[in-house]
Copies of this chain bind each other. A is one copy, B any other.
């Protein structure tokens, strides 16, 4: 008698993440989940990315915060579709939250969705949302020892953005050592050095995003 083996049973969150992903795939939308510490520069990066790509891609944004609409208001001022999720205390976004927010976005009219996760280097990593790509921002004032202390996120992401590099002259932060450390942990990761204050590095990052979107479009 053969005993049936059921593999790969998804938990409730992952099931809904898969549904979200299928919806994104149907519309050919590339979805990027952006994670960082509080104040790492997630919203500023999203605003810069909108400016860099808005002539080439139709962009939507999902803003995740425990409370407030501060970030969504800043994005809305760029006249792109935006939804604010207030988690009400929860320390990360999850797939059901994203699923519900999608009814508020014009999916047939979008090429790229950027999701700003809750400011937290730990908890968001454990919850799939249906995204194509995971990106983290490591801001230079946080110090160059973060990969030792928060290894989970550094190995989970497709790209690391070293942000606020305009502050490097005033800080002890060894960019070369930091790059070496994270590439040692995650050999396939792409690394960008960006200042949303001066615009340095924004174009390189935006080209990477556009390329990821193009790769996805060809697949769908």
Chain A interface (Cβ < 8 Å from any Cβ of B): 37-40, 65-68, 70-71, 89, 91, 118-123, 139, 141-143, 145-146, 148-152, 164, 166-167, 170-171
Contacts and interface: CB of A to CB of B under 8 A. Distances in A.
A38 B68 contact: no
A126 to B, nearest CB: 9
Contact of A149 (B68, B152, B171): B68
A65 B149 contact: yes
15 contacts: A38-B150, A39-B139, A39-B142, A65-B149, A66-B122, A66-B149, A66-B150, A70-B145, A71-B149, A89-B122, A91-B123, A119-B149, A120-B122, A167-B170, A170-B170
A146 B166 CA distance: 21
Nearest to A89: B152
Given A122-B118, A141-B164, A39 B146 contact: yes
Contacts of A152: 66, 89
A143 B71 CA distance: 12
A3 B158 CA distance: 59
